[in-house]
A = this chain, B = another copy of it.
Amino acid sequence: MSYATEERVAVLGAAGAIGSNLAQSLLQLDVTGDVRMYDPYEAGLEGAAEEIYHCGFAGADVTWTASLPEALDGASYIITSGGAPRREGMTREDLRRDNSLIAKDLGIAIKKHCPELKLLVVIFNPADITGLTSLVHSGLPPSNVTTLAALDSTRLQTALAQRFGVRQDKVTGCRTYGGHGEKMAIFKGTIKIDGKPLTDYLREGFLSPEDWQEIQEHTQGGGARIIKLRGRSSFQSPAHLSARMVKAVAEGSDFEWPCGAYITDGDYAGVMMAADTSLGKTGVRYRIPDGDAEDLAALKDSHAHLVSLRDQTIADGILPPLNEWKRHNSNL
């Protein structure tokens, strides 16, 4: 058995649907054999760990604990889905306050227990805000904190494949940027279907503006749609994609989808948002996405929404005022 790393990945929220799938995915995808599962709900956690043991993974050393310090000590990577889940009818933003508090506590605990952490992947919603809150309080460099953002792009890919009746991976270059949520910015310029640019299909009228609008709305409602169909929020795809993000950093390969990145300067500075990222041994690097006027307007709009969520979180006292961030995190 050969894993991408021998270092430890801690999975927070491991009794839950995402977390328990994550533990399995990390092992199935050969990311690491050293998985530490954490959840405050001990019975469910033990049950989830037993399931992983019963898979009989060769070369694995899976441990579980209901103590957060014990979960963080010795972790090189953390993936956390350990927030409150989104339920039917709730928007991601409804969850902001409660989950930001959890993210703040996590950041403080990381600073104490694993300040050398190589990557923190925050999944729980609104991930842009919970990721940012963890980053500010953790003291980690921005390159070492990211959020799961890829799901919007894979949902866009899915919707386009279904609309054009082609195999999913015949649709390439799907990229959504900015916030993960109803205000995501869907960029057209890089998308190709069977090698032909989406913009050509639009210009030639093969795809009407109304159809394109519908596909975008379908993408934006992708999470809510899963809840409606399955009676529960999505858990398999977030687990799979975030396990692959850690694998990319652990083995120094790239990851083809946008990830959340803290924007250090320029027009979009001071938020965490999905950008034109690449992953690798040094964590996450970003470029500000390029697009046409419409795409960039959507990104500006999405960014403004994130700023308002961030400022609300500052007003709540969960994030410090902007001018105090550097005091909490000298890497900012």
Please judge, given known A-B contacts A54-B151, A150-B56, A236-B55, whether A44 and B230 are in contact too, CB under 8 Å.
Answer: yes
A58 at the interface (CB under 8 A from B): yes
Q: Hey, which chain B residues are within 8 Å of A230, CB to CB?
A: 43-44, 47-48, 51
Question: Which of B153, B226, B228 is close to A51, meaning CB atoms less than 8 Å apart?
Answer: B226
User: What copy number does this chain have within its complex?
Assistant: 2
Q: Hey, which chain B residues are within 8 Å of A234, CB to CB?
A: 51, 54
Report how far A168 CA is from B28 CA in the complex, Å: 16
A50 at the interface (CB under 8 A from B): yes
Report how far A21 CA is from B21 CA in the complex, Å: 8
A38 at the interface (CB under 8 A from B): no
In the complex, are the beta carbons of B167 and A61 less than 8 A apart?
Answer: yes
> In the assembled complex, how far is the CB of residue A216 from the closest CB belonging to chain B, in whole angstroms?
16
Report how far A63 CA is from B155 CA in the complex, Å: 16
Residue interface bits A223-257, CB-to-B below 8 A is 1, else 0: 00110111100111100110000000000000001
In the complex, are the beta carbons of B237 and A55 less than 8 A apart?
Answer: yes
> In the assembled complex, how far is the CB of residue A125 from the closest CB belonging to chain B, in whole angstroms?
15
A307 at the interface (CB under 8 A from B): no
A4 at the interface (CB under 8 A from B): no
Report how far A167 CA is from B46 CA in the complex, Å: 17
Residue interface bits A291-309, CB-to-B below 8 A is 1, else 0: 0000000000000000000
In the complex, are the beta carbons of A47 and B229 less than 8 A apart?
Answer: yes
Number of interface residues of A (CB under 8 A): 49
Tell me whether chain A's interface is mostly helix, strand or loop, or mixed.
helix
Report how far A236 CA is from B46 CA in the complex, Å: 14
A25: nearest chain-B partner, CB-CB: B28
Q: Hey, which chain B residues are within 8 Å of A48, CB to CB?
A: 230, 236
Q: Hey, which chain B residues are within 8 Å of A52, CB to CB?
A: 236-237
Q: Hey, which chain B residues are within 8 Å of A150, CB to CB?
A: 56
In the complex, are the beta carbons of A24 and B240 less than 8 A apart?
Answer: yes
A20 at the interface (CB under 8 A from B): yes
A209 at the interface (CB under 8 A from B): no
In the complex, are the beta carbons of B53 and A154 less than 8 A apart?
Answer: yes
Report how far A169 CA is from B33 CA in the complex, Å: 11
Q: What are 25 A-B interface contacts by the 8 Å CB criterion?
A: A24-B25, A28-B28, A28-B29, A28-B240, A44-B231, A47-B226, A48-B236, A50-B222, A51-B237, A53-B168, A54-B154, A54-B155, A54-B158, A54-B226, A54-B236, A55-B154, A55-B236, A55-B237, A56-B150, A56-B257, A57-B168, A57-B169, A58-B169, A59-B169, A60-B169
CB within 8 Å of B: which residues of A? 20-21, 24-25, 28-29, 43-44, 46-48, 50-62, 150-151, 153-155, 157-158, 161, 167-169, 222, 225-226, 228-231, 234-237, 240-241, 257
Q: A24-B25, A60-B169 are known contacts; what are 9 more A-B pairs with Cβ within 8 Å? A: A20-B236, A28-B240, A47-B229, A53-B158, A54-B151, A54-B158, A54-B226, A56-B157, A56-B257
